[in-house]
Structure 1
Amino acid sequence: MEMKIGELIHIKRKEKNITQKQLADFVGVSKASVSKWETGQSYPDISLLPLLAAYFNITIDELLSFRTQLTSTEINTIYAALQKELIELKPEIDQKIRRLIRTYWTCGPFVFQMAVLLLNHLDSLTAFDKMESWLAEIRGLFLHVQELSDNPQLIHHAKVMEASVVLIQEKPEEVIDILGTATPIFLPPELIITSALQMMGKIEEAETVMQTSLFQYTIIMMNVFIQYLPLTYQNEVQFVETAHRAQQFVTVFSIDQYHPLTVLPLYLQIAAGYLSLNREADSLCLLEKFTSLMEQTAFPIELHGDSYFTKVADWLSEYSNGGQPPKETQLIKLQLIQAVSGPPFDQLSKDKQYQRLLTRLNTLVD
C-alpha cells in the first residue's frame, strides 16, 4: 500500500479525533503548516518526526515507510533536513541517517543521495566514527546502488562517486580499475531529445532541455578548469592562458552571479598558481577578486538561474536537492576563508595588501 506522510498524518489525526489546530499546538507549528502537510504541499521538519510518531503511538519507520520508494521532492526535503542536523552535530544523527537508509534500502536514488550527503560531510561524521570506517560504509552504499538500480544514469553516477571515495582512500590504482584512463566519448542525449521535441512541435520544452543542459555544462566546465589549472603550474605559458580563458568564461556567462561556489575556488586556484610562479602581484589581484566576490555573495546560497538561464528553476528543484548545494554553504564559506590564511598564501603574511584582505574576510565570519 502506498501512502504519503501527509495522508498518514491526516488519517491518524482523524483517528484521535483532534483538529489541525490541536496537533499544531502540540508539535509547536502553525495550523497552516499541518494543513500543508496533509495536502502534500510541504513536509514536516525531520526534527518533528519523533514527536509526531510518539503522539500517534507509532514508530518513525511506520510514519515514513508506507512506501518503499520516495519522490525526488521527498528525497530533497530529507537531504536538506539531515544536512542541517549534521552541521549542527545533533546527537545520534549518524544513527538516524542509517535508519533511514535501511528503511528505504530499495530506493536507489535515496540511498545514492544519502551516500553523497555522508561523503560531503565527512568532517562532521568523524565526531561519530573514524574516517576509514565511514569511507568504507559510503563506498558500500554506492556499490549497493549499482547492484540495485536498473537506471543506467544512476548506475554511472554511483560508479563515479564510488571512484571518488576510493580516491579519498588514496587507492589510485583502484580508481583506474573502476573508471579506466581513456576519456569517454561524450554523446549527450539531450541533443537527440531536443530534436525529437522540435519534430513534435514542442519548442518551449526543447528550449528548456537545452537551457538546463547549457547551465549544467557551465558548471562542469568550471570544475574542469579548477582541476586542470594545477597541472599547468610548471608551464607558465599554458597556465597563464588557461587562467585567462577561465576568467573570460566566467565573465561571458556571468557565472559569479548564479554559481559563485565554482568561481570562488577557481580564483583561489589561479592565485595559488601565480604564487607558485613567484608572481605575487598577480596572485594578490586574484585574491582581491576572490575577496570582493565573497563580500558580494549572500550566504547561505541557493542554486538558481539568472536573466539568461530563465528555464532552469524546475530542473534545479527536481534534480539538484531542491536548489540546495550538496554541501552546506556556510561551512563552505568558512573553509574558503580559512584557505586564504593557510598555505600557500601564508607566505604573503608580511604583505600589507594581503593583511587587509584577511581582515575583510574575517569580518565575514559569523
Structure 2
Amino acid sequence: MTSRKDRYVLSPSVNLRYVINASRSQGDDRGSCTAKALGFGYEGLFAHNEQQENLRHNGQSKVSKDAGKKRLDEINESPVGILDCPDLRDDFYLNILDWSINNIVSIALDRSVYCYYYDSRESECLANSNSFHYITALKSMKAGRLMAIANSIGCISIVDMSTKKELVRGVLPNESRVAALACKDNSGMFSDHLLVTGSKTGDIYGYDLRRKLKSHSFCLSGHELEISGLQMAPDSWQLCSGGNDNRVFIWDIRKEKPLFMQDEYQSAVKALSWCPWRRHLLAVGTGTNDRRACIWNSSTNTLMYAVQTDSQICGIMWAPLISEIITAHGYAGNDLCLWPYPSLEKIYSVQAHDSRILHSALAPDGTTIATCAANESLKFWELYRKRPSLRTPSANKLEFGL
C-alpha cells in the first residue's frame, strides 16, 4: 500500500502566480518580457531575434516554393502565444502535455500540474504531489472532466478537473515509473472508463475506473524496455505501443498476445497517432538514430509510406481537417513540419524553439498545435483555419470492433 504522501492533492495555499515582467535591454527599442508560471503573452509581447527570424523565413521559402500558396497563406508564421514553464523536466520519454476536448491545456512542471484555459487565457494549479516523486504522464479522460496523473514510482491518481479533488488512486504492481498513458475518450463510445498505463519495465497495464484502480484488468507483455508511447485507436479495440527497445506493438486489448510487432526501427519510438478519418491507419515517428515518419496499415502490418525527416520525432499528429501529418522535432531541427498525405512531400517547416521540442499536443478543433521545449517554453502555433471538417469518420462507414 502506497503511503498517503504519494497522493496528488491541491494545496489551498498554492496559487498560480500569473506574473509578466517587462524590461528593455540596452540598445534595443523593442520590449522584451518573460512570463512566469504559465503567464501568457500575445504575439508582439515577446522580443524576437531578427537574424534568427530571417533565417527561419529563408528556410521556409526553400521548402514551400512549389507548394500551394493558398494553403500556406492560412498558416500563422509566428506563435500566437508563449508560456513560460519553469521546472519542466528535460526528459524525452515522458508525456506530460495534454490538450483536452474542452480546450484545457495541462502540463506537469516537476511535481505540480498546471491547467491553462485556452479560451479565457487563464491559468491555475490543478494538483501538487506531496512526495519527492516527479510527475511523468498526464491524460485527460471522460470528455475532459477527469485527469489521470502518474508519477515516477508508478502511483496513479484520477483528479476531478472542476473540484480539483483526487477521486481515486492506485499503484502499478512493479512500482516503476509510468511514462505513457492512453484511454478511450470519445464520449462514451467503447470503453471510455478504461485507462492504459505503460511502465518502465515494458509491461502495459489496463485499469477499469469503475473498479477504483484496485487491480489491473489486463497486462500486456512484449516490450523489453520502458514504454514511451501509447495510443488507443478511436474506432476499435486496437492499441499501439512504442518503447525504448526500438519496437512498436499493435495489440487487441481483449487478447494477451500482440497482433503485430514492428522491430525494424533503429531508435526509441514515442510518437504515435491513429488517423481520425481512416480506419487502421497508424503514423509512427522515430527517434534520433532513425528519424523517420512511417505510415502503417495496422490491420495487415504493412508499411505504406515512409519519409526521412532528418530530426528526432517527439510528436506526430494527423490533421483532422485536411489530409496532412504534423511532426514535431527534437534534435537537430527543433522544428514543426507539415507533410501532405499520401505524398509526404514537406510543404512547410518552422524552427519552433531554440532547444529540442519534448512534447506536442493538438487542439480539439484541429487548428492549433502546442509545443513544449527543453528551454522551459510552451508555444502555440495556428497552422489551420477553422472550417467544416473535410474528413469525417461517418464518411468511411466505420464499424465498431475489429
Shared fold per TM-score greater than 0.5: no
Q: Which protein has the bigger strand share?
A: 2
Scaled by the length of structure 2, the TM-score of the pair is: 0.27
Q: Which protein has the bigger helix share?
A: 1
